[in-house]
Amino acid sequence: MNEAILLHEEGSDIFTMSLRYVQSDLNIDRQFNFNRRINEPISNFTRRIKTNIGLQVMKKMYCKQKKHSDFETPLSVLLNDTDNNHIKFVRDSSILDDNDTCKTILENSSNVKLIIFNTEYVLRQNIPFITKIELPSSILVDFPVYPSKFEGKNVNKLKSTFTWYKNEGKEWIQVGQDFLYVPCMSDIGSKLKISCVPRNDTECGPIIEITSNNAVQNGPVSCPFETRHAFTKYKLSGKSFRVTSYNILANIYSETQLSQETLYPYCPLYALSMDYRKLLILKELMGYKSDIICLQEVDNSVYKNDLQLALRVLHYDSIYNLKNDLREGLAIFYNQDRFDKLYSDYSVISQGVSLDDFNIILSKIENNNAKQTFGNRNTIIQILILRSKENPEILVIGNTHLYFLPIADHVRLLQAYYGLLYLRTYAKRVKNENPECNVSILYCGDFNSTPDKGIYQLMTQNYITKDHSDWRADPTEMVQDVVLTHDLNLSSACGIPEYTNFTATFSGCLDYIFYQTDYLAVEQVIPIPSKETLKTYTGLPSIVFPSDHLSLCVDLKWLK
């Protein structure tokens, strides 16, 4: 049975109709989409259908008649007939009046049929329907592939059915059934096709298929993060949970001329492309089997089309926040099987005027240049509050990416301190609301600060003196007579790695997972690759490392 799909949101004056028109003797098999207004006459709509489909038919007929002068089809007569009744909407055997508006079609559409020449369509309204589906341009052996774009109406992706095929000659052979598929060596040289039946809780929609533009290629023989996966073979449970923090290098930075020619000239251009790097990023993250994943430098499109879609299949939910007007931001993913989300929010640090303790500090800064630099930054901090499903424990998780300028240690110190007070404020509030639970803080991110600077001292020693060298990082923005202090017991879960950022011109520890030692302890730190391994391709990123940063991964456990 042929179907025409109607999509209309209540209150909207526009609706869409999609149908697949097949005419085998003309080799036509094409999807047609129409956007119309509900108050226009039906006659306008039917004329548009005849024009769009008729144009395709006429082209095919012309090609056929050039090759076969005696070619005839019944459609020839219908196309030349001025009678518009060859395209019509019918309800209970009665043709709908051309002067009626399209709103008439939408009312009780299940009783309406569409006749296009001699082909009959049943109308189905607001059923699951895929509006866009695409496969990535880069498909590698042993790396997950999935629809890089998947958009639809009334669709629950988790309930939809996906089937993967590869071509062998003219035949399509089924190779998988899931949203994700991992190509194997026998797939090399073959294109992939995915078939999807969109579903929701009550209905299913029309099947849609898409074929990859490129064939499966051999990927890197081995990526160093696969060695790290040997330490994360199993998911954690009970009082233990795994945390990953990772700056994944935003595409808006990696594909610039500066990156290609100055920052990472040693990295092949294809390996700087996000189409390539996202495959490595996903495989790396999936292999860690983490319960909480904090990401920095996440492109909006990569979050929406890749990370969110792929990780949701593995039962991760997430939050995402952009840095003001930039196209990249922060994301936190968490395992829904182990945690319930209580609350999430974010704050633009320079605009966070609601913290009294921080405002007191800010008021003591007399250097207007320093205040202006701090105030002009779009740095944000995310907060996600999770309750364990297995233990009387609540986590207050912060994720941030601090200002990068080398001479801005004083700005980063203030930003980190603001984030600390921000998390502490929420932790106290949550504790008051949930006195039966322990409440612990995790503070993750790319702090752009090495361990010899003030941030590490602030976190782990609770105190920054007024004469700390960070206050004098920029001679034009010196901060005087400011002391920072707090009462949280924090430690670096991964200790002090020699490096978490490693390029040809710089290597050092910039990333941290700070945890509250009152209620948490480190169970296992996933070791990072050796310096010799990193130098194999000069620096990061490379064909086996998708970012200029290394991910941090640690197993923590609740003490009580």
H helix runs in 91-232, sequence order: 103-106, 224-228
Short-list 258, 252, 335, CA closest to 297: 252
DSSP structure class, residue 214: S
Q: Whole-angstrom Cα distance, residue 251 to residue 273?
A: 7
Q: Whole-angstrom Cα distance, residue 540 to residue 544?
A: 9
Q: Whole-angstrom Cα distance, residue 214 to residue 491?
A: 48
Q: Whole-angstrom Cα distance, residue 382 to residue 27?
A: 54
Identify whether the C-beta of residue 6 lies closer than 8 Å to the C-beta of residue 103: no
Tokens of 112: 């309406």
Q: Whole-angstrom Cα distance, residue 526 to residue 80?
A: 73
193 in helix, strand or coil? strand
The position carrying tokens 């899931």 is 178
Tokens of 203: 């209905």
DSSP structure class, residue 41: B
Question: CA dist 92 to 46, 89, 119, 124, 317, Å?
Answer: 18, 10, 17, 16, 47
Question: CA dist 316 to 158, 290, 333, 335, 415, Å?
Answer: 12, 10, 6, 5, 29
Q: Whole-angstrom Cα distance, residue 522 to residue 517?
A: 9
Q: Whole-angstrom Cα distance, residue 529 to residue 133?
A: 37
Cα dihedral sign, 410-411-413-418? positive
Short-list 376, 478, 359, CA closest to 421: 359
Q: Please identify every residue annotated as catalytic.
A: 446
DSSP structure class, residue 69: T
